[in-house]
Amino acid sequence: MKLKGIKIRLYPNKEQKNVLNKHFGSCRFVYNNALNYKIIMYSDYGISTSKFDIVKQITDVKHQAEFAWLNDIKAECLQNTIDNLDFAFKSFYRGGGYPKYKSKRNKQSFLSKQNNRILKNTNKLLFYKNKIKFRCSSKDKELIRNNKIKRVTYSKDKINNYYASILIEFEPKKLKPIDKEIGIDLGLSHFLITSDGEFIENPKLFRKSEYQISKLHKQHSKKKKGSINKEKARLKLAKKYIKISNQRDHFLHNLSAKLINENQVISLETLQIKNMIKNRYLSKSIQDASWSKFITMLVYKADWYNREIQRVPTFYPSSKTCSSCGYVKDDLKLSERIYTCEQCGYSEDRDINAAKNILEKSRDELTRTQTLQESSSLETR
C-alpha cells in the first residue's frame, strides 16, 4: 500500500467557520505556549522537557477556569500539536532550523487523525459533528471514499480559504512496462531538455509577475497600519502569490505525469540545489523553476506506477562530454550553446548533448551495479 495526499477545498458555513477558527487559534496557542515553556525551562533551569511533560502541563492548564475554552476543542488536535512541536525539535537536532512561534497572520493548520470520513452520497466531510461541504474532482472523491483515511490536515490560507489535506492508503494501478528510456537535463531558459531533442519551455511564473508583485508590495506598504485598506492590499498581494504557486504546481504535476506515462526509465543529474541557490544571480530563477519539487514528484510517481528513476553523479561533466565519442572539452564556455567536438567533429545543441550523456551514464552505472551484485552473490555462494 502507498500513501497519497489529496487536497480538497472546504466551504464551511458561518457556524462551521467558527469551529474551525477556534481549533486554529487554540492549536496555535498551545504550540506557542509549549515552545515558550520548553525555552524557559532549558534557558533558566537547564531542564530539557519531553512531549509527555508538556502534555501533562496542558492537561493542568485546561482545568484552570481562565483556559476553560480549551475544553471545547477536540482533544486529539491539541495532542497532535504537541507531537508537531516534538517533531520540529527532532528536526532541529538533525540539523534543521530552530522551531519558530506561529503567527495568526500566516497559514493556519491543525491535524486530526480520528473519525474523519466523507458522508455517503454527499459532498460533505465530517469533522467534530460538523458536516462541511467540499469540492474536488470526481476521481479524487472516489479515491477518498474507497480507501482508508490515515489523517486530515485542516488549513486556512492567507486569503481565508479553507482546505483539508487528506492522507489515504491506496494501491495504485501499475502502468504497463515499456521499452523507452530518456535522459533529461534541467535548465533555466528551458525547464528541461530530453535526450530525444524535446525542449520544454520554462513558464517563469514568478519572473513574469514580478512587476505586478512589486507594485502590490508598494501599495501595501503605503497603507496606514491597522486600516481596512491595509488589509485589502494584503489580500490582493497574497492572492497573487497563491495564484503563482497553484499555476506552478499545475505545470509540474502535468509534466511529471507525462514523463512517467511515456517512459520506463528516467535519468537525472543529482543536483545540489541548496548550494546552487547561493548564487545571487541565479537563486531567484532556480527557486522559480522549483527543480526540487519536480524531482520529488517524479520519484514518488515512479514508485507508484512501476517506473524507474536513475541518478547520475553530481560532478559528472555532462555538458562538456561528447555524446558521440566521449571526449571531454574542459574549456567549454557557458556562452557556447552548440557543442562541437574537437576530436570527432560531432555537433549538437549543448543541452541535448548533455541529456544524451546523462542517459548513457545512467546506463553505465546500472550495468556496473548489476555486475557488482552478481559478483557478490557468486562470492556468497
Specify the residue for cell string 519531553: 50
Residues belonging to the active site: 185, 269, 351
pLDDT value of residue 87:
94
State pLDDT tens for residues 238-280.
999 999 999 999 999 999 999 999 999 999 998 899 899 998 8
State pLDDT tens for residues 320-373.
899 888 888 888 888 888 988 888 888 989 999 999 999 998 888 777 766 766
Whether the predicted pLDDT of 180 surpasses 70: yes
The runs of H, that is alpha helices, within the chain are 14-45, 51-62, 75-93, 138-146, 205-222, 228-262, 273-276, 283-289, 291-304, 350-380
Neighbours of 140 (CB within 10 A): 15
Pairing of strands 148-156, 190-194: unpaired
State pLDDT tens for residues 57-71.
888 888 888 888 999
Phi-psi region of 90 (alpha: psi -120 to 50; beta: other; left: phi over 0): alpha
State pLDDT tens for residues 63-110.
888 888 999 999 999 999 999 999 999 999 999 899 999 998 889 999
| This model's pTM is above 0.75 | yes
